[in-house]
Amino acid sequence: MDRYFTVMVIPEREKGVKSFRIPRILFRASMFFFALFAILFSIIGYDYWKIVQQVYENKHLKTRNRILEEQIKINQKKINALTEDIRRIHTFEEKLKIITGLKKIDMTKEYFNREPDTSNETKKDKKTNDRKSILQSLNSPGEIKKKEDYINLKKLYEIKIAENFGRQTGYKITKEWSDLTKKSFALAGQFAKFDYQFNQLKDIVKKLEVDIHQVDQHLLDRDSFLKSTPTLLPAKGWLTSYYGHRKSPYSGRIKMHEGLDIGANTGTPIVAPADGIVTYSGLKPGFGILVQIDHGYGLETIFAHAQKAKVKKGQSVKRGNLIAYVGNTGYSTGPHLHYEIRINGTPVDPLYYILD
């Protein structure tokens, strides 16, 4: 076997052909080193390309982490401000409950100096105290980190971040890359804290809305009750007979008089002493022309011996509306209004209610 390669060089026409003989082993060695160099160059080039890509990724992660940190700081400020707003609303709600009588407190010096006694605490008071403690703990990082909900949220964010970094294949674990991953995992705690605070505030707002609605309903009921309380004297005149036992002008025996008699001229207007619904309007034995109004809350008023009724059964009336005129119908000794107030069907003294 020939151990040489012959290389022929053909120059211009005027010159002769030249040939060189290269040893075969030298040729093969040169080809081997050329191939090895090409492979090394490819590996170095690939690594360089990956490093450039990782540098770009590192810059991207740095920028993203910085933006996230700034956003978390902004959101944290908003959460803190919202917490303070809810705390003020909670305090205002507590004051409203006390003012409206929905919540009772012991207004003594000892009450304000003593520690709160939770032994006889009602469910509503416990709920209020729980809300106070939650609002106080929301601005305390140490307290938040002990909460189970926060711990679970933090683990969830860490899993998501780990999954995200797990997709970044082919990168070298450099110190910079390691620092970036640690910083990203640190953000998991901040996001978990934000989520925890947000969820707690959302629950508090829902419960606060229910409590404020309760106060509003209480005020509406109280307003309705006041409007339904018969505080007016229904006709202008003079009191001729009071509530209580008296001698009957017909039988001469002592008998219970279940209302007030208001003496007045025939045709004197009779007005509704409070808001209500007319449940009777017409003739009734002994009472003549009678009007009866249901004011709700167990309160009823009766107007007897009228000359004429101006309302019908089922009609809604407001305090001060004209309902009838003073007359002398039924068992009556002269023109007057017999006025009764009944609570759950039992007659009571109207003077307890009349304010004018």
The predicted structure's pLDDT at residue 273: 95
User: Which of 123, 135, 124 has the alpha carbon at shortest distance from 91?
Assistant: 135
**Contact by Cβ (8 Å): 259, 347:** yes
Task: Answer yes or no: is pLDDT of 93 > 80.
Answer: no
The predicted structure's pLDDT at residue 3: 60
**Contact by Cβ (8 Å): 260, 242:** yes
Task: Answer yes or no: is pLDDT of 14 > 50.
Answer: yes
The answer to whether residue 304 sits within a structural domain is yes
- Tell the residue number behind the tokens 């990203």, with chain if given: 184
- Do residue 247 and residue 219 come from a single domain? no
The answer to whether residue 53 sits within a structural domain is no
- Do residue 296 and residue 219 come from a single domain? no
- Do residue 212 and residue 253 come from a single domain? no
- Cα–Cα distance measured from residue 333 to residue 327, given in angstroms and rounded to the nearest whole number: 11
The answer to whether residue 243 sits within a structural domain is yes
Mean pLDDT of 7-24: 62
- Do residue 92 and residue 220 come from a single domain? yes
Of 98-102, 224-228, 268-272, 309-313, the poorest mean pLDDT is in 98-102
Residue 206, classed as helix, strand or coil, is helix
Mean pLDDT of the chain: 76
- Do residue 173 and residue 142 come from a single domain? yes
Of 91-100, 133-142, 183-192, 267-276, the poorest mean pLDDT is in 133-142
Model confidence at 195, pLDDT cuts 50, 70, 90, reads confident
**Contact by Cβ (8 Å): 237, 337:** yes
The predicted structure's pLDDT at residue 317: 96
Side chain identity at 204, as an amino acid letter?
A: I
The predicted structure's pLDDT at residue 289: 96
Residue 255 gets the label, from left (phi > 0), alpha (psi -120 to 50) or beta, of beta
Model confidence at 107, pLDDT cuts 50, 70, 90, reads very low
Q: What CATH number should be reported for the domain holding residue 332? A: 2.70.70.10
Mean pLDDT of 5-19: 60
The predicted structure's pLDDT at residue 63: 67
The predicted structure's pLDDT at residue 255: 84
Task: Answer yes or no: is pLDDT of 179 > 80.
Answer: no
Distance of CA 141 to the CA centre of its chain: 24
- Do residue 189 and residue 141 come from a single domain? yes
The answer to whether residue 23 sits within a structural domain is no
Domain boundary among 163, 195, 227: 227
- Do residue 199 and residue 89 come from a single domain? yes
The answer to whether residue 8 sits within a structural domain is no
Mean pLDDT of 187-196: 75
Token pair listed for 39:
């492979």
Q: Of residues 260 and 164, which shows the higher confidence score? A: 260
Number of domains comprising the chain: 2
- Cα–Cα distance measured from residue 305 to residue 284, given in angstroms and rounded to the nearest whole number: 9
- Do residue 216 and residue 253 come from a single domain? no
The answer to whether residue 147 sits within a structural domain is yes
- Do residue 261 and residue 331 come from a single domain? yes
Of 96-100, 143-147, 161-165, 351-355, the poorest mean pLDDT is in 161-165
The predicted structure's pLDDT at residue 171: 46
Mean pLDDT of 232-249: 87
Mean pLDDT of 51-63: 64
- Do residue 254 and residue 190 come from a single domain? no
Domain boundary among 227, 257, 279: 227
* pTM for the full predicted model: 0.48
pLDDT digits (tens, 9 = 90+) for 310-349: 999 999 999 999 999 999 999 888 999 999 999 999 999 9
Q: Find all residues with CB under 8 Å of 144, minimum gap 6, and list them.
A: 137, 138, 150, 193, 196, 197
The answer to whether residue 305 sits within a structural domain is yes
- Do residue 206 and residue 298 come from a single domain? no
The answer to whether residue 178 sits within a structural domain is yes
Q: Residue 147's domain spans which residues?
A: 70-105+121-227
Task: Answer yes or no: is pLDDT of 185 > 70.
Answer: no
> How many angstroms separate the Cα of 291 from the Cα of each of 20, 282, 321?
140, 7, 13
> How many angstroms separate the Cα of 18 from the Cα of each of 6, 7, 8, 95, 183?
10, 8, 6, 113, 70
Q: How would you label 55-70 residue by residue, b for 16+ Cβ within 10 Å and e otherwise? A: eeebeebeeeeeeeee
- Do residue 149 and residue 285 come from a single domain? no
- Cα–Cα distance measured from residue 84 to residue 135, given in angstroms and rounded to the nearest whole number: 8
Domain boundary among 227, 259, 294: 227
Q: Find all residues with CB under 8 Å of 320, minimum gap 6, and list them.
A: 232, 271, 272
Which of 18-27, 40-49, 219-228, 269-278 has the highest average model confidence (pLDDT)?
269-278
Q: What would the DSSP string read from start to end of 236-287?
A: SSEEEE-SEEEE-TTT-SEEEE-SEEEE--TT-EEE-SS-EEEEEEEEETTT
Model confidence at 210, pLDDT cuts 50, 70, 90, reads confident
Side chain identity at 341, as an amino acid letter?
A: I
Task: Answer yes or no: is pLDDT of 285 > 50.
Answer: yes
